[in-house]
Amino acid sequence: MNLAALRDALIARKAEVAAEIRNYPGPIPGCDAQFNHLLETRRILAQELQRIETVTDENVSVADFVNQSPSARELPDILALP
């Protein structure tokens, strides 16, 4: 996978999470862990999309990009990366 493919995966996953949030059954209590997890996932995806747009070195590997992320522990699970 290269950074362009990672960017596409981030965009696709962000759309999936947005659909899950839109279709989440109401009412939504403030302590709903699953809904709060979706909101946190959406925040991470937006943050990572902003980060990937700032990469100017085409030689940066996906592994390096992920490892340098403030959300490095969560990102592989969010995107189902190995």
| pLDDT tens, position by position, 12-28 | 999 999 999 999 887 76
**Alpha carbons 12 and 25: distance in angstroms, whole number:** 22
Could you give the count of Cα atoms lying within 13 Å of 11 in the half-sphere of its Cβ? 8
Its pTM stands at 0.83
Could you give the count of Cα atoms lying within 13 Å of 57 in the half-sphere of its Cβ? 6
* Full domain range(s) for residue 62: 3-79
| pLDDT tens, position by position, 27-37 | 766 678 888 89
| pLDDT tens, position by position, 57-77 | 878 898 999 999 999 999 999
Q: In total, how many domains does the chain have? A: 1
**Alpha carbons 40 and 17: distance in angstroms, whole number:** 10
Dihedral angle sign, alpha carbons of residues 13, 74, 46, 3: negative
**Alpha carbons 4 and 7: distance in angstroms, whole number:** 5
